[in-house]
Structure 1
Amino acid sequence: MDVIASDKASLKLLESMLNAYHCPAILVSVNYRILAINQQYRDEFGDVPLGGQSRCYQVSHGYSVPCDEAGESCPLSAVIQSGHKERVLHIHQTPRGKEHVDVEMQPIYNDVGEVLYFVELLKRVSVASPENRNNTLIGASERFNHMLEKVTRVSRKEASVLLLGESGSGKELVATAVHQGSSRVNHALVTLECAGLTDSLFESELFGHVKGSFTGAHNNRTGLVELANGGTLFLDEIGDVPLSMQVKLLRLIETGSFRPVGSSAIKHSDFRLICATHKNLAQMVKNGEFRQDLYYRINVFPIYIPSLRERKEDLPLLIAALLKRISARKEFHLTDSALQRLKRYPFPGNVRELSNLLHRAVILTDTNLIEVNTIDECLDIDNDSYQQQPRDQHDSSSVTASQVSLKRESPWVDLKTAEMRYLSDLMAHYDNDKEQVADIAGISIRSLYRKLESNEFL
């Protein structure tokens, strides 16, 4: 049934119903026609011609066919299939350009259980952008959007979040996005870098200390847990927390209570916990290097941060944004050949490495156009510095096929050999976790088994 309210009185009634929602909302028919919009929608996204002439996929995306026929997920179709409300993350055309929008679609039934309308609620995701803007998170690829959808879902909750991903992939930026999307945004986001801290230093940094509690404690010091009260505590590289300190951290998470070093007074702090690591914590638990009870406490809602290799489609957006941040006064651009060279580079250091490379390129170029030979020179600097390090200084936890430089890829190998090396390194890096390897490689688990068998990995 496709009922369209064409008279002004009916349209006003529908609009007044939508105004009960405290976010932009539209009423959509089963045939995708927009029947009414509320004032919040007009303020956020502009006006829409009503009376059944506009369809949601045309207005939001500029498509000529529904989203699921254009290669995207369609919340309306998902609701019809499931029978209940559905949520998706879409990139919408707005008066400000393309923006990430969290879409929730709710069905409205008649007395006999038939769907009459859909109410679509739209909320802008301001912590990310699919275009070159001054946002912390930038991307529009499928893997980026999948990650961002999880970020938007968990931000408004109080669940502990565990961010997983390689070094340099942007875990701290994602932690900031989770905090900014939460109800604690007006309080502090406090970060503790856990790598390299001794037992005593970790305890002092986290819980604080009183004057005279140890040599060098000349004054009272407020710990980061207390500073995070009301806000968010972000423990970066949680896998490096000393084993002897993990029981105290577990007690803090379970009770919210702690004692500063040298004090008998018990203090309390109300904080939201976010942890991050590039290590395989599950394997560390098996090896006795990480407490199992602590692992389950922090691993309430895991979010995998894709590496730059896994979202190469976002490279032009990231390059444009990073160049703008590197040089606000002078506008730099890459030639097409320079961009293609970077697209073939595996970026073992992820976005952090890309940023450093572009910094060097800006310094080395004499114009505002960065040529491919400049990129080659920057890559040679990176490769030389990496190869000159003693082997045991390399980060073995993130060594993969991505650390093979362009220079070392020549002469080019055949496609089967390249695939064999790629899968071999993935299997080694992820401890033969075939489901994770298949997900990263973008193939089914059956295809992975077939390829592994043909390459005699099993």
Structure 2
Amino acid sequence: MQLIARDTDHNAARMLDGYDCPAILMSADYQVLAANDLYTATFGAIDPKRTPHCYQVSHGYDRPCDQAGESCPLAACKQSGAKERVLHIHNTPRGREHVDVEMLPIKGEQGQLKYFVELLKPVQTASVEASAQKMVGASAAFNKAVDLINRVGPSEASVLLLGESGTGKELAARAVHDASARRDNPFVTVECAGLTDSLFESELFGHLKGAFTGASFRKQGLIEAARGGTLFLDEVGDIPLPLQVKLLRLIESGTYRPIGSVQVQMADFRLVCATHKNLKAMVSAGEFRQDLYYRINVFPICLPALRERTEDIPLLARSLLQKLAPGHRLSRAAEHWLQSQAFAGNIRELRNLLERACLLETTDSISPATLTLATEADRACENHLPDSARAKQEGDDLKSLQARHLQQLLAEHHGDKQAAARAAGISLRTFYRKLKGV
């Protein structure tokens, strides 16, 4: 244990050794008084000559966090008198890192707030530096999502990841898995879009040899493959209603039967789902079962769109380039150019643009001119395709014209729909449909 201030209460400082994570003892005026050995091993020794304050050590600030635009757990702890928790980005010997900070108040004999213990747990699932494997970012919107992932990860609660297409929901699902006690067991992804009834059961539950025509071998289902780990249902909003019943039964009972088997198997997985659709609206429209919705929506996490975290774009771009073309880099002007773009397709669109730019760039430094060229190549292709909005309008106009023609025929035949349909050369059923303009 390291004592920083000479007048530190030794009994209070000694309690730091009882924590299994980095911990420091602080005064009400933000001064760091002592640190345990785990703190020193993780974040380095604190220089006692500087009589440091926590905001100086952790952030390099000259004032408390809440005066520098961030939430301050110590200020919140003083106000509430209770434990407070927040996700911060701290300076460490390895660079800046996400840290889960928990502040505990220590009261004196008269009940006054005398000391504060700060517990610091580095977050392993996200990075403030360029990374090809982790979620990366430092914006407030990104940190909020990481904080929720870090809180729910150690539990067994089902997680529902919500966000636009291309916001990194699969990477977030992997982060939930990596933050759990199941991290050393399988992480299995089920692509729900396009699953038919028979394919759903075969993929999820597996089948025995001879269970149906063409079943020439025993197939392991994805539930069995995920045993002890995490089952990730991607685009769960695309599961048809009949299949939702089977999924609900699996979740509620925790059991399943492979196709062709009479033996009930016990499932053992942590469920994480993701969708870009508004499931609540789908429930109201009768397109998604309400009981299934509440089963999977135990802990919802909204992943921000790229336009909500533009300050993260340079970091994301550098991380993507590590995978796409390690020898390429972005100029500062190119980073600013990227931050000015809308990116309706989010991170997926950013990745495509960078890959295209790497192929077009003649040097190892990607410039705004090359990014512009890559974007124009995309737009040039779009100009050769029919405008979807215009095509829809033309289709609507045609339907309206057809409906008016049929109404005229109906009037000419004095309301006799059968006669009007014969005159139009169509069936009565088609007549009704076109008359409504559908």
Q: TM-score, normalised by structure 2?
A: 0.85
Give how far 1:134 is off: 3.9
| Same amino acid, percent of matched pairs | 56
Q: What is the identity, as a one-letter code, of the residue corresponding to 1:207?
A: F
Aligned to 2:238: 240
Deviates more, 1:42-51 or 1:104-113: 42-51
Match of 2:167, SS state, is coil
Provide the rounded CA distance (Å) in 1 between the counterparts of 2:382 and 2:107: 62
Provide the rounded CA distance (Å) in 2 between the counterparts of 1:150 and 1:384: 41
Alignment of 1:353-368 (within 5 A): 353-368=349-364
Q: What is the identity, as a one-letter code, of the residue corresponding to 2:83?
A: K
Provide the rounded CA distance (Å) in 2 between the counterparts of 1:257 and 1:335: 55
Provide the rounded CA distance (Å) in 1 between the counterparts of 2:265 and 2:213: 23
Note the residue ranges of structure 1 that are not aligned, 5 or more in a row.
397-458
Provide the rounded CA distance (Å) in 2 between the counterparts of 1:50 and 1:151: 36
Aligned to 1:315: 313
User: How many positions carry a matched residue from both structures?
Assistant: 389
Deviates more, 1:70-79 or 1:261-270: 261-270
Instruction: Say yes or no: does 1:120 pair with 2:118.
Output: yes
Q: What is the identity, as a one-letter code, of the residue corresponding to 1:371?
A: S
Seen in structure 2, the aligned counterparts of structure 1 residues 215 and 380 have a Cα distance that, compared at 3 Å, is farther
Aligned to 1:376: 372
Match of 2:85, SS state, is strand
Residue of structure 2 aligned with 1:40, choices 38, 41, 53: 38
Residue of structure 2 aligned with 1:200, choices 198, 201, 206: 198
Q: What is the identity, as a one-letter code, of the residue corresponding to 1:370?
A: I
Instruction: Say yes or no: does 1:283 pair with 2:281.
Output: yes
Aligned to 1:133: 131
Provide the rounded CA distance (Å) in 2 between the counterparts of 1:246 and 1:149: 30
Q: What is the identity, as a one-letter code, of the residue corresponding to 1:284?
A: M
Seen in structure 2, the aligned counterparts of structure 1 residues 337 and 104 have a Cα distance that, compared at 3 Å, is same
Give how far 1:255 is off: 1.7
Aligned to 1:305: 303
Aligned to 2:248: 250
Q: Would you say the 8 A contact 1:109–1:115 is kept in 2?
A: yes
Provide the rounded CA distance (Å) in 1 between the counterparts of 2:170 and 2:358: 25
* CA displacement, residues 135-178 of structure 1 (integer Å, 9 cap, x when unaligned): 42110011001111111111011110000011111000000001
Alignment of 1:37-436 (within 5 A): 37-50=35-48, 53-328=51-326, 330=327, 332-386=328-382
Provide the rounded CA distance (Å) in 1 between the counterparts of 2:192 and 2:61: 47
Note the residue ranges of structure 2 that are not aligned, 5 or more in a row.
393-438
Provide the rounded CA distance (Å) in 1 between the counterparts of 2:110 and 2:13: 25
Q: What is the identity, as a one-letter code, of the residue corresponding to 2:222?
A: L
Seen in structure 2, the aligned counterparts of structure 1 residues 295 and 311 have a Cα distance that, compared at 3 Å, is same
Provide the rounded CA distance (Å) in 2 between the counterparts of 1:5 and 1:306: 43
Provide the rounded CA distance (Å) in 1 between the counterparts of 2:335 and 2:39: 38
Q: Would you say the 8 A contact 1:209–1:261 is kept in 2?
A: yes
Provide the rounded CA distance (Å) in 2 between the counterparts of 1:267 and 1:387: 55
Provide the rounded CA distance (Å) in 2 between the counterparts of 1:23 and 1:100: 15
Q: Would you say the 8 A contact 1:333–1:369 is kept in 2?
A: yes
Give how far 1:381 is off: 2.6
* CA displacement, residues 206-229 of structure 1 (integer Å, 9 cap, x when unaligned): 111111222321111111111111
